[in-house]
Structure 1
């Protein structure tokens, strides 16, 4: 069971990785086809599943789809808004993609009637667009002009169109439609027709009848404004053949009526007005155009009563239209949006500054506490160090005193041992002077100067002077009896054989005999030096 689950997970991951990289290659391929073949780009993009893409590629897919649809003259308002995509690319620092995403979101909002949102998103697009990206800036200013035009802000609209014309590059051959609109709205009619005709050829190649109709109507309007009524009528009639939409048909008939009105052909003008069949269900703009032409025809026919009635209706509809479109200036909306954004940014900066100040204060406090703590520790360590130095100095002094006392004590013990040796030496010679000296010595010092050895004192002296010789000898060689240990101690103390004989009250022969016994117990040769062998054995233990 576990192996099957592992195989399934591995296959899923492998399939996901396998599909992801071709999908990203298809995204790159579609991006290259956006302008030259937007329909093919859309087919490629529709074949990619967003689920297998990483976040960046997924947002790129959304943006490319809308961009391809826009270049294919499709209605992009049917797509989901790109607000999240715009913010994502803005956070990633990709200002170009953020600018395009905000632009398309603004176009969608404008088409859906959300003019306030549209103005804000177009403003964000303008703010994010790189200064060197002339194509993006052209599109932004063009659509700002369109938005101003919808809001009946004529001067701002013309300024935006003029700005768009400044950003238009001769190498940009994919914006003929928009460039024609910019030139038409700035009254550059001949130049506008040039771009409209280029866009018309492209729309015919794409078999986009709706845009062909729109472009022909715009060409007709440009001819109408230059008093070339014959071409204006020709292009308007051709436009009406391509788009059967009732709203578009009414616009075309109203244009034809206006052209014939300018030519003083009132019957033809009335004919096309009747074909327009504008009703109260139509927009205020269409009704205003309709009644404007009716009152102009009535005025030319000198039917002043009818002209007055039609004029009243015209003023009613044109006023409603203007009021409906000029609720609030776009500049005010954008300024208010920027003001709110700056206020949010200001609050964010204030919070950051407060956090920075508070953080700095906390860090400063922690630094002070840490410095104080370290200072206290250093002070304590210094005190400990000084105390330790003082103690070391005291101990060194005591050690020196002890060594001096030990040296003095050792000197006294050596002197005492030497005195004992001298006394033993003197005692071993029965001379009258020697005996007189010993008698006098005992009389003066009494018990302190006794010539007989005190073995406890001797053991203490030998152990102290010669590294516990007696104790080690006793522990190392338990076979030695007390007399033999005494003999070894006297030998270690430097006593000669005759001196030893006097001290332990035995003959020299007995001393030699005891030495022989010691050599046997310790496994020595008969003539071996007892002290040398014993010291060697004790050092090796």
Structure 2
């Protein structure tokens, strides 16, 4: 019965382990299959963004993704939507990518996450949030060699600044964008950047500069963009009074029109040019055609020009009619512009309000964090104090116990010593008597030896003095002081022999004992200084400058004494050895 139960338990355990293994295999297979799909979708992104979006939509079980895979999926999905011109309605996906890549060192991914987050907020009509993320992407992208993305970032920032009527920063960013597009050989984007620069100059009434940039943009432009740039260039020429060039570019634009509204837009430019030249019939022909437009801005300007034309003709009643139409449309446009301005102001207020709330929350969080740190610090201090007190009391208790044990051991030892005291005293007395006799014998022997040594010392001293005098009158000393141009190995060995064996016994040995790692040059400086050779002569013998010798003496003093000192301190130290 017992063996049957064990068999059942073993079978259950085996089943559980198999299920766990199967679960791990499924999870791993899902996790493994996702990475190639993401890589494939990223490869499709530029040429076939619709295929990339379908591929990303086919990935299910996002809950099984790793954080890195999920962040990449969110980034690529937002990018695919953007490239397929699908308007963004929420920033929830791209924020996942932003929050992940902000904590990594993948600067390229971080820049893309910031860029597409800016695009999302642009679609959500939150210009300030979009601008904030574009600036973050621009700051990261400046450290990367990515002219394609930097050009788009600068162009988008320039556009946002134009909306805020901040023309100087808008101009700077658009010019920088044009430089990046030229570097990347992206002619379409380059033409748009040059056109935007020209429009900024028009807003600032710098028409000659605007004409220059419109002219630069035209060679890179085709299709409908060429129509609008040619028409705007024609208008700019009309404003500076060069009507012939204006008509030329307006007719170029007219040849590119495809819709009625485009034809009306170009006809308005032609009508204004002819009106400024007082060619009334041609102006009336083109301006009358403009009344077919469905664009409220085109109609507004058309009625204003028609009122001026009728005023020249002297038809005041018709002029008033057109003026009324113009005022009505202008009120409509102003209301729309006013609503847009209010919307921008509201967005700005909301953004600033949110930022203030964020800052308030940050300050509150910092304040609470500081309180927490203080509380933890005080708590840790008191805990440490309690531990120290407990440890001190424990040590004191152990110390008292040790003292008590030692006292008991001493008492026991005294008791043991008292029983042997008499025997030891007698033995000590006998030993002292024997040592006294030995000491007397030793004293006699020492006296005799001292007398012999004194005699020998007297003889050695007279010999040493003679040897010293011999050295200072020798050719070696003469060579050291005057004749030798440089100290060679044989001469150095002779000097060492005289110093160590005759003049100053074991001098070099003493130096090496104090400073074991001394170099040969440093030892030569020590020996020559010991012989009282002048610094200038030492410099000649060692092929050095006098300053170098003095510096070596100063360093040697520190190495020999472990103290700071001068070259003279070194000389005194050497003379004392």
Q: TM-score, normalised by structure 1?
A: 0.57
Say whether 1:67 aligns with 2:79.
yes
Equivalent position to 1:313, from 312, 328, 334: 328
Residues 171 and 158 of structure 1: CA distance in aligned 2, closer, same or farther (over 3 Å): closer
Alignment match, 1:299 = 308
- What is residue 218 of structure 2 aligned with on the other side? 193
The structure-2 alpha-carbon separation of the partners of 1:364 and 1:80, relative to structure 1 and needing over 3 Å to count, comes to closer
Compute the displacement of 1:294 (Å).
Answer: 0.8
CA distance in 2, matches of 1:88, 1:5: 36
Residue 179 of structure 1: aligned partner: 193
2:68 to 23, 44, 56: 56
| Higher RCO (Cα < 8 Å, 6 or more apart) | 1
- CA deviation after TM superposition for structure 1 residue 60, in Å: 1.0
* CA positional deviation for 1:110: 2.6
Number of positions where the alignment pairs a residue of Structure 1 with one of Structure 2: 375
Question: Shift of residue 311 of structure 1?
Answer: 4.1
For 2:87 and 2:65, locate their aligned partners in 1 and report how far apart those are by CA, in whole Å.
23
Q: 1:142 aligns with which of 142, 155, 164?
A: 155
Matches within 5 A, 1:366-445: 366-401=383-418
1:28 and 2:43 aligned:
no
Task: Give, in whole Å, the separation in 1 of the partners of 2:324 and 2:157.
Answer: 37
Determine the C-alpha separation between the residues in 2 that align with 1:231 and 1:49.
55
Aligned equivalents of 1:70, 1:240: Cα separation in 2: 27
Distance in 2 between residues matched to 1:194 and 1:42, nearest whole Å: 35
Distance 2:33 2:257 in 1: 43
5+ unaligned residues in a row in structure 2: which ranges?
A: 1-10, 201-209, 238-244, 275-281, 425-577
Aligned equivalent of 1:83:
95
Deviation string for 1:24-75 (max 9, x for gaps)? 1232344344335545544544444462532221221221233244345x23
- Quote the RMSD (CA, aligned, Å): 4.1
Q: Which structure's CA Rg is the greater one? A: 1
User: Which is further off, 13-22 or 1-10?
Assistant: 1-10
State the partner residue of 1:521. Answer: none
Question: Residue by residue, what CA displacement relative to the aligned partner does 1:306-332 show, whole Å, maximum 9, x if unpaired?
Answer: 343244335423432442233356887
1:260 maps to 2:278: no
Contact 1:110/1:118 (CA < 8 Å) preserved in 2? yes
Q: In structure 2, how many angstroms separate the alpha carbons of the residues matched to 1:102 and 1:56?
A: 16
Give the conservation status (yes or no) of the 8 Å contact 2:192–2:217.
no
CA deviation after TM superposition for structure 1 residue 358, in Å: 3.0
TM-score (norm 2): 0.54
Shift of 1:189: 1.2
Residues 305, 326 of structure 1: alpha-carbon distance in 2 compared, 3 angstrom cutoff: same
Q: Which residue of 2 aligns with 1:170?
A: 183
Cα offset for 1:299?
A: 0.9
Indicate the residue corresponding to 1:106 in structure 2: 118
What is the CA-CA distance between 1:170 and the residue it aligns to? 0.8
Is this contact kept in 2: 1:110–1:147, CA < 8 A? no
Q: Structure 1 unaligned runs (5+)? A: 201-212, 242-248, 278-285, 408-541
1:112–1:273 CA distance, 2 compared to 1 (3 A): farther
CA contact (8 A) 1:145 1:160 kept: yes
For 1:167-191, what per-residue CA distance to the aligned partner results, in whole angstroms no more than 9, with x for missing partners? 5461263845753554453432133
C-alpha separation between the residues in 1 aligned to 2:78 and 2:195? 21
CA 1:366 to 1:10, structure 2 compared with 1: closer, same or farther past 3 Å? Answer: closer
